[in-house]
A and B are shown apart, each in its own frame.
Chain A
Amino acid sequence: MLSTAQIQSYAEELYQALRQREMVEPLSNRTPDMTVEDAYAVSSGLLERRMQRDGETVIGKKIGVTSKAVMTMLGVHQPDFGYLTDAMVVDESESLSLSTKMIQPKAEGEIAFVLKQDLIGPGVTATDVLRATDFVVPCFEIVDSRIKDWQIKIQDTVSDNASCGYFLLGSQAADPRQLDLSTVGMVVELNGQVISTGAGAAALGSSPVSCVVWLANTLGKFGVPLKAGEVILSGSLVPLQTVKPGDYMSVSIGGIGRTAVRFD
């Protein structure tokens, strides 16, 4: 357990690292007794600073570390979540400037849920998620870590807003009632070459719907609802891909559609 002062100090440090595009030493190394609850408190402190100092507003949530591939790559064994703000949105028509906006970016293909009803855990089921979902869209999340060289444990990534960077939503939408989200296929291409494929069941060994269920029930414990109109990124179905200026990536999802992102 960390003191309130330590939590606020970490929140300030991560906020400054985000704004200055600098990396910090892993928090979990410096305070090994830090709990996941402490980390979520740091994450809240970070979000408060973004809202109060920069006027950012929360427009959704992201779920991270949901695939076995990403769990293995990051050496963690549970999902996490972060907050999406209006400052993180990249439009399909824009390119994302890695050199001015990011530190050590990686991209991942995801399915995003747009809600039309609130979801308040605990007790939220897959049926509730389907009922509350307006539509799903193809999505790129470009994650980043303020922690040095991505040396993250779960406490580090949670504190750092689940390593959130930017995200881009495609302009094709599908009704999840018409799809089996556990078998939809995903194809990710980098500069025109297929680099990875996956399917919905890569998410928690089940379905992207299960990730949203997990999030609603986890946030329920903190008294936080998923709100109508919010965007929920359900987690990567393929391994993370390091990207550099000049790269171009596309993601195609069976029955949903495709989107693409360019990096400067």
Chain B
Amino acid sequence: MAVLSKTTIAHLAEHLENAELQAFDVTKITDDYPDMDWEDAYDIQYEIRRRKEARGHQTIGLKMGLTSYAKMKQMGVDVPVYAFLSDYFSVPDGGEINMAALIHPKVEAEIAIITNQPLHGPGCTVAQVLAATEAVVPAVEVIDSRYRDFKFDLKSVVADNASSARFVTGGKLKRADQVDMKTLGVVMEINGRVVATGAGAAVLGHPAASVAMLANMLAERGEHIPAGTFIMTGGITAAVEVKAGDSVRVRYQDLGEVSIRFV
């Protein structure tokens, strides 16, 4: 049951979206609205999405966040969070990201999938996700929480579109039957130095489990994952801070590599 009024939801959405668009930080919204619930948090996120779409931006995908068991335990929750990707979040492989447009960005290596059939929860399984996977592609997410010094709780994060800011995809495309997403290794390098490594199982045991959970969470709002959806499944590596001048390259087992530079 939502507790915030429609006016408050609209106000908080505008507040958080302005912080994103103008690159300034804010304090976490639960400081002022301690009673807000999960439904309120997603209502704010959906209002931000509506605002962008109303200005002509297309929503081009979905993402999962907080998909590591260690991080969930640390935050005291047992489900991950989801958010949407707007068209202008996409940066071409090898492209540049202007630090001035962001607050305090961090990068995470992820595995993304593109579906070719709709996925409906509740009860969506890993098997159904694999059967509905048209392609597996590498993706690097740039997260940029709008909250000062990354001080937040989970509801504040959900309202803030799960810190979504930019992403880059590229490398090689594989079918689900050509890769083992669970053991697929990733190596993140900044300025040629390895800063993090991991494998797909860091994401809820299997990246497809993350997508199944997304379908099941969307079902709670009466929604589903349509065919043709690009989904970033969640961070395999820890989020790593970047600064102007950094060149980030992520190498993937069997999926090539993607890179971006921060200027």
Contacts and interface: CB of A to CB of B under 8 A. Distances in A.
Interface of A: 180, 182-187, 193-194, 197-202, 205-206, 237, 252-255
A183 B69 CA distance: 23
A237 B202 CA distance: 14
B180 interface: yes
A239 to B, nearest CB: 12
B168 interface: no
Contact of A183 (B185, B193, B200, B205): B185
Main secondary structure of the interface of A (DSSP, over half): mixed
A186 to B, nearest CB: 6
A183 B186 contact: yes
Nearest to A205: B194
Main secondary structure of the interface of B (DSSP, over half): mixed
Nearest to B253: A183
B183 A252 contact: yes
Contacts of B202: 194, 197
Contacts of A194: 69, 201-202, 205
Contacts of B182: 187, 252
4 A-B pairs with least C-beta separation: A185-B185, A185-B199, A199-B185, A254-B183
Interface string B170-201: 00000000001011111100000110011111
Nearest to A254: B183
Contacts of B82: none
A199 B69 contact: no
Contacts of A205: 193-194
Given A183-B251, A185-B199, A187-B182, A197 B236 contact: yes
Given A184-B185, A185-B199, A200-B187, 6 more contacts: A182-B251, A183-B251, A193-B69, A201-B187, A252-B183, A254-B184
B252 interface: yes
Interface string B244-263: 00000001111000000000
Contacts of A253: 183
A186 B180 CA distance: 12
B134 to A, nearest CB: 22
A185 B184 contact: yes
Contacts of B185: 183-186, 198-200, 254
A254 B185 CA distance: 7
B253 A184 contact: yes
**Which one of A180, A182, A183 has the highest number of Cβ atoms from chain B below 10 Å of its Cβ?**
A183
B251 A254 contact: no
B183 A185 contact: yes
B77 to A, nearest CB: 17
Contacts of A198: 185, 197-199
A206 B198 CA distance: 14
Given A201-B187, A201-B194, A254-B185, A185 B200 contact: yes
